[in-house]
Structure 1
Amino acid sequence: MNPKAFVLLLMLFSTSVLSLAQSRQQEYSVRSKKAIRLFEESENYFIRRQYGQAVQLLKESLGKEEDFLEAHLRLGAIYRAVGQYDEALAHLEQANQLADGAPNPQALFSLGELYWQLGKYEQAEKQMTQFLSLQPRQKALVSIAENIVADAAFALEQLKNPLPFKPEPLPAEVNEAALQYFPVLTVDQQNLIFTRRLTPGPQDDEDLVISRRDEQGNWQAPVSISSNINTEGNEGTSTISADGRTLIFTSCRGRNGYGSCDLFISYKTGNEWSEPKNLGPIINSAAWESQPALSADGRTLYFVSNRPGGVGQNDIYRSMQDETGNWEVVENLGKTVNTSFDEVSPFIHANGQTLYFGSNGRRGMGGYDLFVTEQEEEGWQEPRNLGYPINNHEDQVSLFVTADGEEGYYAYEEKGGGANDRSLLYRFKIPEAVQVRNRSNYVSGKVYDAETKKPLGAAVTLFDIVDEQVVNKVSSDSVNGTYYIVLTEGSEYALYVNKPGYLFKSLAFNYGTNNTLEPIAIDVYLEPIRAGVSTTLNNIFFETDEYQLQPKSETELERVVQFLKENPKVAIEIAGHTDNVGNASYNQQLSEKRARAVYNFLVEAGISPSRLQAKGYGQSKPIAPNDTEENRQKNRRIEFRVL
């Protein structure tokens, strides 16, 4: 449950009970008229939250009557509201002791709630159980007390089996400001972007900064991410695509928007970020939108909004891009994820399936806890608490998990009293018990023109050939040709790189669950379309010694169909090749039959036979020595050549 809501309810409860006592002096716990007068004078200051004057009057009142229960309760409420918890605890414990002969529901509730907020679970459970035994009539308070009893039981069980958790702060070069929070990384873990505020004042400027690793892997001092993005207004709570080229962030003042805070987008080309644009009324509303989270390819956006019509107060929403790159109508993630309270700071893992978020509306350790849920065909799984001590009695509201699932990054607030408050970035090893189910790797490199060797901006598309669907779709940088695309455990993938006027390139990745999670570097050279150029179809599959196409070959074959339809003047030769295992005559026949199988598929898909030739070359044209199984596999291939 939300501790801020607790404080508000506590103050409302204190105000209502103590105001009633004001007109019924016989119900005060003391008789001293001077003490009572000072207590009553404090009430207006208390209601107006002029706490300094209220505290002074209440201390004077206790100087007249040190056992004044109502004064101790009010002081406890004030000290709790301003975060002076030791003083609050002392006064509430004193009030509880004074009421020991005849249990006071307000004293029991107030102390039980503060115990809960401070992580004193056994004491909280005891106080609230006793409070409920008095059968109080205030439904809101009964609901809070029941939740605390249940949450305390949950927390005590968590304490029995703590997870291994040894967070360490990032270097001082990174944590140089007063406040740094909401960290995100590019998939290669070489760039760290976060929100920074140089001083802790709530009106101080927020900016987005970036820290980069040097050649030795050390984080460098952060710098402004871009003068195009940071302004005199506030820019914060950002998210970045895996390749580091699409940034979405929150801006609450200084830019034209639809509501109190809006989401803006910027694209990086070469080393320059574009002028940010408001994501528009499909995403933003007249309400508050913030805390964005992008999928690895930048085509699915999660964010938080308090717009009307949600499940709770702050809910998590999602929008996806259509084939033309436009954002589709926003959808609420529904009651499996969202509660009647607050869900905040979503983070979608690079695998596109695992969602982390903070919530104060679920069974937890206190305040906001971190939860995780997996998306499956039927929807989101029931979220599970990440456990102790990742979660504790304080607020945990943001988490970034690396693509390999090994490390987590988060911000931790160190209370120093107003101007001395600090928020530092930490990292930790993710305990095995709560690691992502499917880890991710990535393929990176550059795309070039094969003839001129100049970088190309090209479409890079990843297909799951088992499920026959697009998994990721990105573009290589038009200035330097760089691309990054994420691979996730558990399937076989076809990677296509294509650009109008060029022969497409296909790559194959069989990515089960036992792979070593090491980055894969592949530069791609695209051949301009002209007679004589050829490409290998790496995702055409046959059983050993068979020529019937396996179903998972269809993804590749459809790409060939699409290429031929986009280039109606192109005619091709489909060439079958084998390794040198077995009889040469047999291999020749097998290569011909396999080439013919591809030819037949293309004809059935509507390609004119006049544009196609099928030919088998057997083992006569190896592209690698037939000395290892890996090389022999390279030689067993289907190519097409432009005629």
Structure 2
Amino acid sequence: MKSRFFAILIFLFSSILCTNEVTAQRGASQRKKQQEPPRRNTTSYTSKSKKAIEYYEDAFSFFLRRQYGQALELLDYCLKKDPAFSEAHLQAAKIYEVLLDAARAEYHYKKVAKQQPGNAKFVEAPYQLAKMYFQQGKYADARSLATSAIETPKVAQVIRDEAQMLLANINFTEEAIQQPVDFQPRRVEGQLHQFPLQYFPVLTVDQQTMIFTGRRGVSPRYDEDIYVSHKNAQGEWQAPELLSENITTMHNEGTCAISADGRTLIFTACEGRKGYGSCDLFVSYRTGDTWSVPKNLGAEVNSSSWESQPTLSADGNTLYFVSDRSGGLGKRDIYLTRRNSQGEWSNAQNAGKTINTPRDEVSPFIHVNGQTLYFASNGRPGFGGFDLYVTEQTEKQWSEPKNLGYPINTYEDQASLFITADGQDAYYSNEEQRQGQYIRSEIYTFAIPAQIQVQNRSNYVFGKVYHALTKEPLEATIELVDLRQQQPISAVTSDPANGEYLMVLTEGSEYALYVNKDNFLFRSLTFNYLAPSEAYIQQPIEIDVYLDPVEKGRETVLNNVFFDTDKYVIQEKSKPELDKIASFLQENPTISVSINGHTDNVGSDSYNKTLSTQRAKAVYDYLLQAGVPAERLAYQGYGAEKPIADNNTAEGRQKNRRIAFEIL
């Protein structure tokens, strides 16, 4: 995957670098005399030729001014005077590396390595050669040179550490390439690609909307903007449009993240907006078709340093991002922050040593299951540069990150990965270069190999929330609770303009979903995702929810109160629902309710009447113990008298076996 890290971050650095270079070159001729370094003590050089030394020092002066052509011309004269001048060979090698002329750089590094074996002053040459051989797949030669650099007497610790890391990469690569993963990338088709550069793609959970960063040109005078593309009825991506006038400015907006329902957007801006540091994170919310004016996430999230590359949890309440702020574990680290029910973000915390290293971790992506984190790092054994890794969260801890393998990772830098909810497909940006300049960046996709797919895939339930009587759309809170863990998982709100909601469901547990609004009876839905079938996990579920106002005679079914067959002892996983009823009654102290039990028509009428009464009383007793006054409670068993579905089908009978509560 040719997806280079520095291309992805181009909007963060390109204008700065361009400005610095132009400034450095302007007036270089006027300042030449003042900028030339003083002549060095010739005894410190490997050459005794005064003319060669003079050429070398003049070349070094041009090198400092980035006038590489003049520097190389003087170094050529220098080496003709003294072919054994190791400092000149080393300087030439560095310049050719800057110019991306690997063959000439390798030639000069070889000269130095041969002329100065075991010399700590020139140990950079064998180390750089080792890196080149590693990229060329010459692992034995790379290992030999890296080892010699480590064993060189008095070698600088930084070189020793780098060479040891290179050895670890060599050992890892030799083993990994023997077990390649299936990697068949293809360009995303349709009308998506309208610009020379488009990158950092993110999708909504239904895979119908893609948001990405685009540039209308490759030079720094073209700023970045955030674009959106939608699929048509045939599943083809349509021509992208600017996301919103409220978000787009004359300055750069890029590297964004979006919640699963497409209603919360966080993006990076480095200028043109009031901020705390060089680049800050901003948030915008969508109501209907309109995005709000972006707001800085504040000092709890942003710092006086650089913040960028956000990724959001499915519900939009947990944010991961990258910062180079002080106090971290490395140069760039991954941080996280959470949003509470009042919409306030917590103080950002470092993601910890399991994820971050003393080097760089960048481009995090949290899967919609909330358990799988992908990111890029150059601080772990890999193929060299930035590799992509994946880690799974279990019991509040992250597993040891796993390299995604070859050829997804290569010696080039990899970053910017998005994985779909079902864990089947990935999207990323593929860059092309010419003479070190990025000339094209397009969005590609590939099927995720089975051995590196997410452990728990996700599906989603969606629909609209309405007033049961007026049929008007409602803004309601939708909560997801893990029944086995008896813990809340996430919460979202339906769109106040149209009532739309979306909630992600992930393999591995049973869930209760509650739709709540003040002065309305809550609705409960139940989903068993312990072992969903392939069709179940891939097919989204559409449910429109109608909320009844709190009025006499209104009833709501408790879909998450469970009993064993022919039993009336409440199962443990029913507690979240029972506690929900107790809370509802505490929040509405003027109402009284009847707990009503119902069965299907299997069995005798007397048996069904007794069983339904016993089950209703079990719920009644629980509420009494929870502190609800007895005078506000009643219970009643109806047996099979009041079916709500056809008793001739298994599905209908299941719906008829129910507990409900009715406003008295």
Question: Per-residue CA shift, 1:219-240, capped at 9, x if unaligned?
Answer: 1111111010010111111111
Where 2:621 maps in the other structure, the secondary structure is: helix
Call closer, same or farther: CA 1:172–1:520 in 2, change over 3 Å.
Answer: closer
Q: What count of residue pairs does the alignment treat as equivalent? A: 627
Q: 2:181 aligns with which of 141, 163, 168?
A: 163
**1:56 Cα offset (Å):** 2.3
Question: Per-residue CA shift, 1:108-155, capped at 9, x if unaligned?
Answer: 223123333556544322322233344352221111112111211111
Task: Give the alignment of 1:587-626 within 5 angstroms.
Answer: 587-626=608-647
1:465 is matched by which residue type in structure 2? L
Contact 1:233 / 1:253 at 8 angstroms: preserved in 2?
A: yes
Q: 2:94 aligns with which of 66, 72, 77?
A: 77
Residue 369 (structure 2) pairs with residue 351 (structure 1): yes
Greater alpha carbon shift after TM alignment, 234-243 vs 510-519: 510-519
Residue 504 (structure 2) pairs with residue 486 (structure 1): yes
**1:102 Cα offset (Å):** 10
Residue 207 (structure 2) pairs with residue 186 (structure 1): no
**1:447 Cα offset (Å):** 0.9
Contact 2:336 / 2:351 at 8 angstroms: preserved in 1?
A: yes
Contact 1:536 / 1:640 at 8 angstroms: preserved in 2?
A: yes
Task: Give the alignment of 1:392-403 within 5 angstroms.
Answer: 392-403=410-421
Call closer, same or farther: CA 1:21–1:106 in 2, change over 3 Å.
Answer: farther
Q: 1:465 aligns with which of 458, 476, 483?
A: 483
Call closer, same or farther: CA 1:265–1:630 in 2, change over 3 Å.
Answer: same
Residue 130 (structure 2) pairs with residue 109 (structure 1): no
**1:197 Cα offset (Å):** 1.6
Where does residue 15 of structure 1 map in the other structure? Answer: none
Question: Per-residue CA shift, 1:171-202, capped at 9, x if unaligned?
Answer: 36323312222111111111111111222224
* Distance in 2 separating the partners of 1:324 and 1:267: 15
Where does residue 287 of structure 1 map in the other structure? Answer: 305
Where does residue 39 of structure 1 map in the other structure? Answer: 56
Question: Per-residue CA shift, 1:486-520, capped at 9, x if unaligned?
Answer: 00100000011111122111100010134332211
**1:281 Cα offset (Å):** 0.8
**1:455 Cα offset (Å):** 1.3
Greater alpha carbon shift after TM alignment, 328-337 vs 154-163: 328-337
Where 1:421 maps in the other structure, the secondary structure is: strand
Residue 550 (structure 2) pairs with residue 533 (structure 1): no
Where does residue 567 of structure 1 map in the other structure? Answer: 588
* Distance in 2 separating the partners of 1:226 and 1:114: 46
Call closer, same or farther: CA 1:171–1:68 in 2, change over 3 Å.
Answer: farther
Call closer, same or farther: CA 1:585–1:106 in 2, change over 3 Å.
Answer: closer
2:633 is matched by which residue type in structure 1? L
Where does residue 49 of structure 1 map in the other structure? Answer: 66
**1:32 Cα offset (Å):** 6.0
Residue 659 (structure 2) pairs with residue 641 (structure 1): no
Where does residue 230 of structure 1 map in the other structure? Answer: 248
2:513 is matched by which residue type in structure 1? L
2:531 is matched by which residue type in structure 1? T
Task: Give the alignment of 1:550-565 within 5 angstroms.
Answer: 550-565=571-586
* Distance in 2 separating the partners of 1:618 and 1:585: 8
* Distance in 1 separating the partners of 2:617 and 2:600: 18
- Consecutive unaligned residues of structure 1, counting only runs of 5 or more, are 5-18
The normalised TM-score by structure 1 is: 0.92
* Distance in 1 separating the partners of 2:68 and 2:5: 19
* Distance in 2 separating the partners of 1:196 and 1:247: 16
Residue 79 (structure 2) pairs with residue 58 (structure 1): no
Task: Give the alignment of 1:160-559 within 5 angstroms.
Answer: 160-171=178-189, 173-202=191-220, 204-417=222-435, 421-516=439-534, 517=537, 518-559=539-580
Call closer, same or farther: CA 1:225–1:78 in 2, change over 3 Å.
Answer: same
2:257 is matched by which residue type in structure 1? T
Contact 1:177 / 1:197 at 8 angstroms: preserved in 2?
A: yes
**1:318 Cα offset (Å):** 1.0
* Distance in 2 separating the partners of 1:522 and 1:110: 60
- Consecutive unaligned residues of structure 2, counting only runs of 5 or more, are 7-36
Where does residue 582 of structure 1 map in the other structure? Answer: 603
Give the superposed CA RMSD: 2.4
Contact 1:119 / 1:393 at 8 angstroms: preserved in 2?
A: no
Call closer, same or farther: CA 1:171–1:140 in 2, change over 3 Å.
Answer: same
* Distance in 2 separating the partners of 1:378 and 1:486: 19
Where 1:263 maps in the other structure, the secondary structure is: strand
Identity between Structure 1 and Structure 2 (%): 52
Question: Per-residue CA shift, 1:255-285, capped at 9, x if unaligned?
Answer: 0001111111100000000000011111111
Contact 2:149 / 2:159 at 8 angstroms: preserved in 1?
A: no
Call closer, same or farther: CA 1:106–1:613 in 2, change over 3 Å.
Answer: closer
Call closer, same or farther: CA 1:419–1:77 in 2, change over 3 Å.
Answer: closer
**1:567 Cα offset (Å):** 2.0
